[in-house]
Amino acid sequence: MAVGYKTRIRRKTLHWHRKMRELYMILKGLADTDHPLLAHVIPTRRCNIACAYCNEYDDFSNPVSIEELKKRTDRLAALGVSIITLSGGEPLLHPQLDDLIRHIRSHGIIAGLITNGYLLGAKRIQEFNDAGLEYLQISIDNINPDKTSMKSLRVLDRKLEMLADYAYFDVNINSVVGGGIPNPEDAYKIAVRALDLGFTSTVGIIHDGSGQLQPLAEAESNVYHRIKALSAKRGYSRITFFQDNLAAGRTNDWKCRAGARYLYICEDGLVHYCSQQRGYPGIPLERYSVADIRKAYRSAKPCAPACTVSCVHKASAIDFWRDSQTPMIAAQPRQPHRA
C-alpha cells in the first residue's frame, strides 16, 4: 500500500473523530455563551518572508518562551476555549512549536496551525503528527513569486506533496483574489491543485490599499465563483455567505462576537478583538475574565459591516440569531485584511 494512500486513510479517520468533537463543541456553545470558541495565539511575530499586503509580522522579534505560551494555553483552557490556532508571523520559526501543540492537545483543545509552508519538511510533518496537530492552513497567493507575495505554488508545491504523503492532520489551501493580486486566474489553478492532492480549498478576498470595500472586478469575480463551485462539488465548500457580499462590494449585517467567541492573543499576551483591531481591548490574558467576555459579546463593533476576517465570522456564526448588541466606541481597522 502506497505511503500517500495509507496517510489519507489515517487522515480521514482522524478527520471524522475531530468532526465529532466539533459537534460537541457546537452543542456546548449553544448552551453557554460565556466561553470562547476559537483563539488565535501568536508564538512569534517574526516571519521569514515579507508579503506586501500583510501587517502581521516583523523580521526581528524573538519567540515567546514556551513556559509563557503554556501558561497562556492553561488560561485559555480555564476560559473554556474549544480551538486554538497558532499563527504569526511565521509560527514554524518557534523552536518548541511541537511542545506547544502537545500541551494544547493535553487540555482536549483542538490544535490548528496557519503557516506559509516554507519551513515544512517530512520530518517536521511527522513531528506534528506525533504532537497531535489537527489541521493546518497554507495561503498560496500566486503561481510564481512577484512583488506582492512570495507564497507561490511553484515554491510550495513540493511541500504540498509531502503533506499529501505524510500528514495525518487536515490540510486546507487558501487562495486569494482582489486588490494587489495581478493574476486572479492563479487562484483557480491553486484550488484545483489542492483538491487533486486531497486537501480542502478556500478562497480569500484582499481589498485595496485604501482599506475600502470594493467589488471584485469581472475577472476576479469569475474566478471567485468558479472556485466556490469547484469546492462545492467536492463537498468542501467552506465559503460563508458574507464573502458573497464582500465580492459584490456589499457590507454585511451581522453580530460580531470578537472578544467573546473569538480571541486574538498577541505575542505580548494581550487579548484583542482580532488581528486588525490590535489595541482593543488590549487586556492581559491572565486578567481576562467572564465579565470581559460578556461585555465583548454584547458590544456591537462599528467595523463589523465591512469586516473581511473570516475566522471571526465563523466563530460568531453560532450566535448570529440571538442576543442583541449595543454600540461601542468606534474602533478603526489597522488596514485591510484577507477574508
Give residue-wise pLDDT tens across range 56-82.
888 899 999 999 999 999 999 999 999
How far apart are the C-alpha atoms of 42 and 285, rounded to whole Å? 13
* Among 89, 90, 88, 85, CA closest to 113: 85
- Name the DSSP letter for residue 304: G
Instruction: Find the range with the poorest average confidence among 44-58, 115-129, 130-144.
Output: 44-58
Mean pLDDT within 152-157: 95
205 against 75, higher pLDDT: 75
- Quick check: 157 and 120 in contact, CB under 8 A? no
Residue with cell 476555549: 81
- Residue 213 banded pLDDT, cuts 50, 70, 90: low
Position 172 scores a pLDDT of 95
How far apart are the C-alpha atoms of 321 and 327, rounded to whole Å? 18
Q: Is 302 exposed, middle or buried (0-12, 13-18, 19+ CB in 10 A)?
A: middle
H-assigned helices in the chain:
3-31, 66-79, 97-106, 122-131, 153-166, 185-196, 218-233, 241-247, 290-298, 310-316
* Among 107, 75, 67, CA closest to 271: 75
CATH number of 3-327: 3.20.20.70
How far apart are the C-alpha atoms of 110 and 193, rounded to whole Å? 27
* Among 106, 125, 107, 129, CA closest to 117: 125
Instruction: Find the range with the poorest average confidence among 57-66, 187-196, 210-219, 230-239.
Output: 230-239
Instruction: Find the range with the poorest average confidence among 91-100, 173-182, 312-321.
Output: 173-182
Mean pLDDT within 211-228: 80
Position 339 scores a pLDDT of 41
State yes or no: pLDDT of 237 exceeds 50. Answer: no
- Quick check: 125 and 98 in contact, CB under 8 A? no
User: Across 232-236, 270-274, 334-338, which has the greatest mean pLDDT?
Assistant: 270-274
Q: What is the CB neighbour count within 10 angstroms for residue 233?
A: 10
Mean pLDDT within 146-175: 93
- Quick check: 14 and 102 in contact, CB under 8 A? no
Mean pLDDT within 193-209: 83
- Cell numbers of 83, please? 480551538
- Quick check: 75 and 286 in contact, CB under 8 A? yes
- Quick check: 75 and 119 in contact, CB under 8 A? no
State yes or no: pLDDT of 90 exceeds 90. Answer: yes
Please report, rounded to a whole number, the percentage of residues in the chain having pLDDT higher than 70. Answer: 90
- Quick check: 61 and 89 in contact, CB under 8 A? yes
Position 124 scores a pLDDT of 96
Sorted by where each begins, the domain ranges of the chain are: 3-327
- CA terminus-to-terminus distance, the chain: 39
Position 333 scores a pLDDT of 45
Report the largest interatomic distance among the alpha carbons of the chain, rounded to a whole angstrom: 60
State yes or no: pLDDT of 174 exceeds 70. Answer: yes
At position 326, the amino acid (one-letter code) is T
- Residue 240 banded pLDDT, cuts 50, 70, 90: low
Residue 200's DSSP bridge partners are 172
Mean pLDDT within 137-166: 93
Please report, rounded to a whole number, the percentage of residues in the chain having pLDDT higher than 90. Answer: 60
- Residue 230 banded pLDDT, cuts 50, 70, 90: confident
Residue 326's DSSP bridge partners are 299
Q: What is the mean pLDDT of the chain?
A: 88
Instruction: Find the range with the poorest average confidence among 164-178, 192-206, 234-248, 311-325.
Output: 234-248
Position 1 scores a pLDDT of 42
- Quick check: 314 and 240 in contact, CB under 8 A? yes
pLDDT tens track for 283-314: 999 999 999 999 999 999 998 988 888 899 99
